[in-house]
Amino acid sequence: MSFDAIPVPLLARRDGDRILIGDPVEEVLSLADDGAGRLRLAAPAGGLTTALAAFEALTATGDETVVLLEGPGWERLAPDLTERGIAVPFDGTLAVFPALFWQVPDRWLMYPAPAWPELFCRGPHGRHPLRPPKPQGLLYRRHIPWLDQWFTLRALHMGDLPAFHRWQNDPRVAAFFEEAGTLEDHRAYIARLAADSHMLPVIGALDGRDFAYFELYWARENRLGAVHDCGAWDRGWHVLIGEEDVRGADYVTAWLPSLMHYMFLAEPRTRSLLGEPKASHAQQLRNLMRGGFARLRDFDFSHKRAALVQLDRQHFFESRLWARPPETDGMPLRLSPATLL
């Protein structure tokens, strides 16, 4: 399915003391700010979809914000909001807290998080849960305010072979990923991933332009499972940026937290996200630390000395790490065009 054929979620923007719903604008909601991090939002005429768009617009920046749902009109939406955990009782009314709202998949996931039962089976590094079927097609979509573009994740398929082949044979990419080869080599590589239940290869795009390749994996069955006591639903990830011009802080702070957000939403039992970059990649590790990862320890694989990094679910949501982090030490957040974690 082309980008243009994918229905665009309703978009909302804050404009001073009001929220503009839709593009072009379909509805305007009044907003009152008490200056203490409490925003009082008028109820929308458009219903739940409009309310969710407004909540995202008010919480996408990571500010210390709670949205109070006061005034007429909210009573008809209250059952849906409270059943999903989007709004909770607070100070005599209902309130939307960012750490709760951003854990509810309605705005971002293209399919419901599966209620997959847990049954443990034997694996290469001990027991692990039987994994659910891998999703297909569009997985995740989010508007990035500082780019004014839509970031999407979709499952890799064989139609992506030409781009995958081109990216892997880029000298910058090959130096990290070490998978340069023929078209048939890469066709076989994609086929192996498709047959591997613990791997999910995905493509990242901005406004429909593919620019990145990600390998998401269940950590217990991966090589990390041999060197770390991974949680049953912990996930790891590899990444390469295939298009050289999609670089710098504006882009890293779009795809990095969005990818983490997707993995936490896709499986509510995922407590941690793990990575194993080279221990010598000082800039890469600084970038990950700014993105909320902790460096746990260094260790040796057969092919590299690695740093074990971890992002905790509670830290991601309570610290609002989906938002663009501030630049620190005068050093911009930047990753090389090809990076393997």
Give, for all 341 residues of the chain, the pLDDT tens digit: 444 455 678 999 999 999 999 989 999 999 999 888 899 999 999 899 999 999 999 999 888 889 999 889 999 999 999 999 999 999 899 999 999 999 999 899 998 777 789 999 999 988 999 999 999 999 999 999 999 999 999 999 999 999 999 999 999 899 878 899 999 999 999 999 999 999 999 999 999 999 999 999 999 999 899 889 999 999 999 999 999 999 777 899 999 999 999 999 999 999 999 998 888 778 778 888 888 999 999 888 877 888 999 999 999 999 999 998 665 433 334 443 344 44
pTM of the predicted structure, to 2 decimals:
0.92
Residue 7 has what pLDDT? 63
CATH of span 110-318: 3.40.630.30
User: Which of 239, 222, 218 lies closest to 284, judged by CA?
Assistant: 239
User: How far are the Cα atoms of 152, 202, 284, 316 from residue 251, in angstroms, in the given order?
Assistant: 13, 17, 15, 19
Quote the CA–CA distance of 35 and 23 in Å, as a whole number.
28
**Sole residue written with tokens 């221990």:** 279
Spatial CA neighbour of 290 closest among 251, 242, 249, 240: 249
Indicate the pairing of strand 272-275 with strand 235-241.
parallel
Alpha carbon distance 309, 253 (integer Å): 18
Q: Which residues are catalytic?
A: 276
pLDDT of residue 170: 95
Backbone angles phi and psi of 119, in degrees to 5: -140, 120
- Which structure tokens are listed for 79? 């059952």
Any idea of the CA torsion for 144, 145, 148, 153, to the nearest 10 degrees?
10
Task: Tell me what pLDDT residue 9 has.
Answer: 83
pLDDT at 4: 47
State the pLDDT at residue 18: 96
Q: What is the predicted pLDDT for the residue at 330?
A: 36
Q: What is the pLDDT of residue 339?
A: 43
